[in-house]
Amino acid sequence: MRKLIEPDTIDEPVKQFLTGLDISTEPSIVEVNGRRIFIVVRPANADTTYEEPWTDAKAHRRYDLVNKEIGATISPEEAVELAQLNDELDHHISKVAPLPLEHARNILAQLQAQLGPAAGPQ
C-alpha cells in the first residue's frame, strides 16, 4: 500500500537529502549503521500530463500490480508504476464520470444548518 507523505510534514534537512538523491528511475537504498532501512524510488515521469487515454492494457496492468500488492510480491519499481496508474485512473474517472460532490456538499450544509452551530467541523 502506498502512502503519500505530504511535503509540509517533512523536516527541511530530510527534504534536502531526498531532493539531493540522483535522479534515476532505479531505486536508491538508504543504509543506516549497515542496515538497509529505506528504498527510495522516483517516478519514471514526475510531470504526468495525462494526455494518453486510459486503455484496457493499462487496466490489465493495474489489475496485475494490485494483485502483486495484495500478495506482498510487488517490487519497489512496480509500486511506483501502480501509483502512477492509480493517479492516471483517478484523473480518467474524474474526467469521464466526475463524482457529484457539489450535491453532497449542499446536503451536508443543510444538515449542519438543521443541527445548529454544534454541527460544524470538529
> Quick one: 52 and 78 in the same domain?
yes
Q: DSSP secondary structure string, the chain? A: ---PPPGGGS-HHHHHHHHTS---SSPEEEEETTEEEEEE---S-SS----SPP-HHHHHHHHHHHHHHHTT---HHHHHHHHHHHHHHHHHHHHHS---HHHHHHHHHHHHHHH-GGGS--
Residue 1 is assigned to a structural domain of this protein = no
Q: Look at residue 79 in the predicted model and tell me its pLDDT.
A: 84
> Are residues 94 and 52 both part of a single domain?
yes
* 83 and 66 in a common domain: yes
Q: Is residue 80 part of a domain?
A: yes
Q: Give me the chain's average pLDDT, please.
A: 83
Quick one: pLDDT at residue 37? 78
pLDDT in tens, 54-94: 999 999 999 999 999 999 898 888 888 888 899 899 999 98
How many folded domains does the chain comprise? 2
Please state the pTM of the whole predicted model: 0.58
Q: Are residues 38 and 60 in the same domain?
A: no
Cα separations in angstroms, 64 against 53, 78, 82, 85, 121 = 19, 10, 9, 11, 40
pLDDT of residue 89: 93
Residue 122 covered by a domain: no
